[in-house]
């Protein structure tokens, strides 16, 4: 199982610790596999963009109005984290529902 996020993100580290046989892919350093961002956006829509992040608050109104996928490519830290890929099945965030589905309670 792969966890896409940031190596210094507390939530990503919690998920990595709880999910056995998982690896963290630092999206800032390593990027995302081709097509994964588009697939995640098709599934989660606007929820994929973390509008509560420091990065989001630092953007101008004009930048915020840009296409979400372009924003996520330019600013990987804008993605809500973690994005978890279990054999093609995607989960977003580390809430109770995700933890229950992945056995990370």
Q: Which of 3, 5, 6, 9 is catalytic?
A: 9
CA distance 66 to 62: 7
Catalytic-residue membership of 12: no
18 contact partners, CB below 8 Å, separation of at least 6 = 99, 102, 104, 105
Q: Which residues are known to be catalytic?
A: 9
């Amino acid at each position: 199982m792969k966890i896409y996020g940031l190596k210094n993100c507390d939530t990503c580290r919690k998920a990595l610790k709880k999910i056995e046989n998982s690896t963290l892919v630092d999206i800032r350093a390593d990027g995302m596999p081709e097509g994964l961002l588009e697939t995640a956006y098709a599934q989660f829509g606007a929820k994929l963009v973390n509008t509560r992040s420091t990065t989001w608050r630092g953007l101008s109104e004009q930048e915020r109005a840009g296409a979400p996928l372009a924003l996520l490519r330019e600013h990987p830290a804008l993605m809500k984290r973690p994005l978890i890929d279990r054999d093609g099945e995607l989960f977003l965030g580390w809430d109770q529902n995700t933890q229950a589905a992945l056995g990370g309670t």
